[in-house]
Amino acid sequence: MTLYFEFILNISLWRFCLDKIEANPLASLLFAVSLPALIFFGLFLLFNALVWPCVHKPILTVLILLSCAANYVMFQFGVFIDSDMMANLFQTSRREALDFVNPSALSWLALTGLAPSFLVMKSEVVFRPALRELRGRLVSALACLLGLGLIALTLYKEYAVFGRNNREVTRLINPTNFAYSAYRYFERQSLAKREFRRIDEEARLAPYEDGLFTVFVLIVGETARSMNFALNGYDRPTNPRLQGQDVISFRDVTASGTSTAISVPAMFSHLPRSRFSPKDSPHSENILDLLSNAGYEVIWLENDNGCKKVCERVRTRDMVAENNREYCDGTYCHDEVMSEPLDDILANVTGDTVIVLHTMGSHGPSYYKRYSGEFRFFQPTCDTSEIQNCGIEAIVNTYDNTIVYTDNVVDLAIESLKEHPNLESGLLYVSDHGESLGENGIYLHGLPFGIAPDEQIKVPMILWMSEAMKTHDHIDYECLKSRALVPYSHDYLFHSLAGLLEIDTRLYEADLDLFLPCRLVPLPKIDNKFGQQKMEDGNK
Ligand SMILES: [Zn+2]
């Protein structure tokens, strides 16, 4: 059954893999040879768990028939089975379904679905006595796991890169593709019915009185790791521009996840990493909603792969869609593309404003695509997404160039803010997660948080403040500087921003406000009950 699934019911998978694999370099050849073994071990494990007396025939028949149908549409129409495909399937009318009934589909079904199902029904399967059967299963499962572990140990890099470059490949693997997609589809259906949660309807602005507009730029970095910043002690000059600015680089900051999908929503959430759930977050407000409800104009400039639902209720501009030819190639834009829109916004500020720049940063594995030619500072570089074919030195050079480019992007934003001394402005750059560049044979990111190395979870966080903000927000900047080595995390972001941007919310936790120890005058508070401003005693 394993062999039948592997080589007949998964031909779409093999067509795809053959197409993608370059068989030339030795590493890729090893990878190509190991792939069928990997799929074999995986499928064998699955059947090992599913095939039991009494139930094996119906289970196998259903799996064969469904896989046969999936195989047909994947092979003939080049589709990938995901939860959207499942939505199509479940919402298809009978008329649409009948369109699929044609001689080619019927003969495909008869040959690869009905015939083997018939054989399964007719054949006699002899099971061993219970204990021996169990022992046999256990031994073969262990053997499969050993095989899988061996492949993971020797070819981790190849699989990580191939998977990252061809994420859709798992949607071609029968029968797990449709089983998983159906699960995701029903899960999405049940989540869609969930009620949206306001987190604090009474949150409001409680500012010090100064008559200036507050403008805060939050730059969300992508895949930048702390240790490759010269500002944090890296021995290469990766921060040529920011080293000339009066910035504070917090050197020990831990991310809340190892992937964008978890880190970005977690950064904006009021919940600490330990209580944050990526499944709940789309149904609940975040700091941007609080700021927006309190009267801030919030603008999100998107240049990464989407804002992971945190910007859904604020004004958003999509840089890729706007396709500025100077910085974009139709698929990606260099992060400098956001400088012009930022300048526009700053020139037309009519109230307190928060601007989020969601950067492409150092997104891998195509590091070389993240910067323009003049930033090819460290050489030789790895100018391909197949980084498994590059030496570590070239990969690190290319990655470091992305950091130099990011240094430039952050610097440009600071320079833009400096041109408006009449604004009480500040800027915080913080990356979503880090990246492994071959340390201990690990590449890219996304390892489970508990076992992720520092390369993936220690992120840069850099602060700049205008003189107006330091003065009017009563911040002792030198005090903040002296705390640059204090361990912080993404958990601090919500509470620090709420404090700095003068939002009075019951969700605020003073322990997680990194500005608080360096605040010279206590924050003004509003007594929500009477809606009147009530200064704290120390502030009078
Ligand atoms: Zn990311």
Q: What's the pLDDT tens digit per position in 459-508?
A: 999 999 999 999 999 999 999 999 999 999 999 999 999 999 999 999 99
Calculate mean pLDDT across residues 84-93. 71
Q: How far is the CA of 449 from the centre of ligand 1 (A)?
A: 14
Tokens linked to 89? 């399937």
What is the model's pLDDT at position 527? 43
Give pLDDT tens digits for 257-310.
Answer: 999 989 999 999 999 999 999 888 989 999 999 999 999 999 999 999 899 999
Q: How far is the CA of 415 from the centre of ligand 1 (A)?
A: 26
The more confidently predicted of residues 88 and 510 is: 510
Given a cut of 70, whether residue 4 has pLDDT beyond it is yes
Q: How far is the CA of 164 from the centre of ligand 1 (A)?
A: 13
Which of 108-117, 127-136, 199-208, 236-245 bottoms out in mean pLDDT, i.e. has the lowest? 199-208
**HSE-up (13 A, CA, CB side) for residue 140:** 15
pLDDT category at 534 given cuts 50, 70, 90 is: very low
Q: How far apart are CA 303 and CA 354, in angstroms?
A: 17
Calculate mean pLDDT across residues 327-356. 96
- The answer to whether residues 416 and 339 touch, using CB atoms and an 8 Å cutoff, is yes
What is the model's pLDDT at position 32? 86
What is the model's pLDDT at position 192? 73
Tokens linked to 129? 């006595």
Q: How far is the CA of 320 from the centre of ligand 1 (A)?
A: 17
pLDDT category at 525 given cuts 50, 70, 90 is: low
Q: How far is the CA of 220 from the centre of ligand 1 (A)?
A: 9
Q: How far is the CA of 69 from the centre of ligand 1 (A)?
A: 36
Q: How far is the CA of 262 from the centre of ligand 1 (A)?
A: 9
Q: How far is the CA of 257 from the centre of ligand 1 (A)?
A: 9
What is the model's pLDDT at position 387? 79
Q: How far is the CA of 361 from the centre of ligand 1 (A)?
A: 9
Strands 248-254 and 488-489: parallel
- The answer to whether residues 157 and 365 touch, using CB atoms and an 8 Å cutoff, is no
What is the model's pLDDT at position 238? 97
DSSP codes of every residue in 63-80: HHHHHHHHHHHHHHH---
Cα angle, residue 59 at apex, residues 54 and 62 outer, rounded to 5°:
140
Calculate mean pLDDT across residues 241-256. 98
Tokens linked to 40? 């074999």
pLDDT category at 344 given cuts 50, 70, 90 is: very high
Instruction: For residue 445, give the DSSP letter.
Output: S
Tokens linked to 162? 């191939």
Tell me the average pLDDT of the chain.
Answer: 90
Q: How far is the CA of 222 from the centre of ligand 1 (A)?
A: 5
**Amino acid at position 238, single letter:** T
Calculate mean pLDDT across residues 37-42. 95
What is the model's pLDDT at position 535? 36
Alpha carbon dihedral 343, 345, 347, 348, in 10-degree steps, equals 170
What is the model's pLDDT at position 93? 60
Domain ranges across the chain: 2-192, 204-539
CA distances from 182 to 88, 111, 168, 467 (A): 11, 25, 16, 55
The fold for domain 204-539 equals Alkaline Phosphatase, subunit A (3.40.720)
- The answer to whether residues 436 and 458 touch, using CB atoms and an 8 Å cutoff, is no
- The answer to whether residues 459 and 359 touch, using CB atoms and an 8 Å cutoff, is no
Which of 209-213, 294-298, 314-318, 378-382 bottoms out in mean pLDDT, i.e. has the lowest? 209-213
Can you give the three-state secondary structure of 255-320, one letter per residue? Answer: CCCCCHHHHHHHHHCCCCHHHCCCCCHHHECCHHHHHHHCCCEEEEEECCCCCCCCCCCCEEEEHH
Given a cut of 60, whether residue 538 has pLDDT beyond it is no
Instruction: For residue 112, give the DSSP letter.
Output: I
Q: How far is the CA of 211 from the centre of ligand 1 (A)?
A: 37
Q: How far is the CA of 104 from the centre of ligand 1 (A)?
A: 44
Q: How far is the CA of 362 from the centre of ligand 1 (A)?
A: 9
Which of 102-111, 317-326, 401-410, 482-491 bottoms out in mean pLDDT, i.e. has the lowest? 102-111
Which one, of 355, 354, 381, lies nearest residue 370 by Cα? 381
Calculate mean pLDDT across residues 154-171. 85
Q: How far is the CA of 247 from the centre of ligand 1 (A)?
A: 23
What is the model's pLDDT at position 455? 96
pLDDT category at 158 given cuts 50, 70, 90 is: confident
Give pLDDT tens digits for 401-452.
Answer: 999 999 999 999 999 999 999 999 999 999 999 999 988 877 888 888 888 8
Strands 525-527 and 532-534: antiparallel
What is the model's pLDDT at position 532? 35
Tokens linked to 479? 């005090």
Q: How far is the CA of 134 from the centre of ligand 1 (A)?
A: 44
How many percent of the chain have pLDDT more than 70?
Answer: 94
- The CB density around residue 466, as the number of other CB atoms within 10 Å, is 22
What is the model's pLDDT at position 98? 67
pLDDT category at 37 given cuts 50, 70, 90 is: very high
Q: How far is the CA of 363 from the centre of ligand 1 (A)?
A: 7
Q: How far apart are CA 28 and CA 70, in angstroms?
A: 28
